[in-house]
Amino acid sequence: MSDDGIAIAVTFLAGRYHGAEWPPSPARLYQALVAGVMTGGYRMLFPEVEPALRWLEHQDPPTVLVSRSRRSAPYRIAVPNNDMDRAGIEWAAGRESNPAQFRTLKTIAGQVVGGEGPHVIYQWRAKPEEITTWTHLLRRATHCLHTFGWGVDMAFADVLSDAGRFPGDRYLPSEQGSVDLNVPIEGTLDDLRATYRRFLVRTSGKGVDTHTRPSMIDTRRYGTERERQIPVVLFRLLDKDAEETKSVAWAHCMKVAGWVRHEAGRALEQLRWSPDEIASYIQGHTGESGKSRRVSYVPLPNISGPYPDGRIRRVMIVEPATEFGKAVRALERVLSGRILTDGAGEPTACLVAASAARDFIFEQYVRSGQGAQTWRSVTPVVLHGFNVQRRGVIDINKTEKLLLRAFEMAGHPPSTIERLAFQAGPMWRGTG
């Protein structure tokens, strides 16, 4: 319990979490609570805590507080491939076959959290009478929790009497956030119980019923307070047939930005945005309005991870920090699946909306930068004016003024910049 609601805190015993998303979603906590109270002798508590679990279903998505973490070094293990067809064919032909030999390599990289905990806190707003009614029952449910994430992620939970000052990141529901998290909704508890019953009878003489996952779960976008100030939408690049990943050399980053900018203008024109707003704010022309703020189109080269080749396979669209995300919300809705064209009108690539969750490269640009104080360019900076003297020598003062002006157009006034440095050579391996 906290001053403004009810808070459930989770601590990882081994300091590691292997779930697909970070931070762990409210729906994952809900599922872990249900799994805990339905395990072994804890089942006798279910009738007692069921009303509290149903109360959680009807609440607005909670605020999620997470301690600072880092992604562990990835490693690979061999797991069963579940390919019994191959074994069955061999057996039907009278030949020996060992299903245990059919294995697939799986890459694992969990989150490592520090300190004694708690490591994750979920806060729901509640009225004083609700706090009095449900705190005891929810505490009974949390004391049944045994794992959170994978089966190896041993954890315990409790209802806090006071969340206090939490040294970590605070995630709130936000349309401008960069993280999609599942949340429970009305009917989730019944759906989880039905899913478990289907799982128990998934195999029969007719085959295997693979429909053993819950469906009564909603998805909400979350972001930190810092993220909420910078509206952004992420896309992957596919080839023009939308079948394979599109890979573009770093040297063509300006072309990629041009492809996306052109299609963004066309898409918003169909949504009947004003021509002046499209020309100035979306496509970057000053226009009659004289508006200096504008949307940025940012190609994202692979600069880290297992394939740091500097090639572009992803792109994001960013609105100035001073705006409210109107453009990116519209572009996320209408650009996904659209074909990009070059200056001659020839198809070049297809855009597909994406999320930073479970994507290592996107994380380097979006999630891993939370709270960062130092930033580096990963593609050549294209200035919007001349920065050389008559003899072709770079003018330091002109370059600095142009860079500060570019930051200001992107919504970052000079007062927010402590210092900057620039050079002609690349700052990252694999880029130019």
307-316 confidence digits (pLDDT tens): 788 889 999 9
Among the listed residues 53, 198, 205, the one whose alpha carbon sits nearest the alpha carbon of residue 140? 53
In one letter, which amino acid is 136?
H
Looking at the DSSP bridge assignments, the partners of residue 217 are: 184
Q: Assess whether pLDDT exceeds 60 at residue 291.
A: no
| 286: its two tokens | 């000053």
The stretch 116-139 carries a mean pLDDT of 91
Q: Which of 33-37, 191-195, 204-208, 292-296 has the highest mean pLDDT?
A: 33-37
pLDDT tens digits for range 339-391: 999 988 899 999 998 877 678 888 888 765 456 678 888 877 878 888 888 77
The DSSP secondary structure of 296-335, one letter per residue, reads EEEEEE--STT-----EEEEEEE--TTS-SHHHHHHHHHH
Averaged pLDDT of the chain? 84
Asked if 365 and 377 count as a contact pair (C-beta separation under 8 A), the reply is: no
Q: Is the dihedral of CA 128, 130, 132, 138 positive or negative?
A: negative
In one letter, which amino acid is 382?
V
Asked if 378 and 428 count as a contact pair (C-beta separation under 8 A), the reply is: yes
The stretch 148-159 carries a mean pLDDT of 93
Tell me the backbone φ, ψ of residue 341, rounded to 5 degrees. Answer: -130, 155
Q: What percent of the chain has pLDDT over 90?
A: 34
In one letter, which amino acid is 424?
A
Q: What is the pLDDT of residue 313?
A: 92
pLDDT tens digits for range 212-224: 788 889 998 888 7
Banded pLDDT at 288 (limits 50, 70, 90): very low
Give the whole-angstrom CA distance, residue 176 versus residue 154: 33
Among the listed residues 159, 331, 364, the one whose alpha carbon sits nearest the alpha carbon of residue 260? 331
For residue 398, give Cα distances in angstroms to 153, 333, 394, 409. Answer: 55, 39, 8, 17
Q: Assess whether pLDDT exceeds 80 at residue 111.
A: yes
Tell me how far apart the 2 most distant CA atoms of the chain are, in Å.
85
Give the whole-angstrom CA distance, residue 62 versus residue 129: 18
Strands 168-173 and 63-67: antiparallel
Looking at the DSSP bridge assignments, the partners of residue 203 are: 208
* N-term to C-term CA, the chain: 53
With a CB cutoff of 8 Å and minimum separation 6, the contacts of 375 are: 369
Q: What is the pLDDT of residue 44?
A: 93
The stretch 272-280 carries a mean pLDDT of 88
User: Who has greater pLDDT, 414 or 84?
Assistant: 414
Banded pLDDT at 322 (limits 50, 70, 90): low
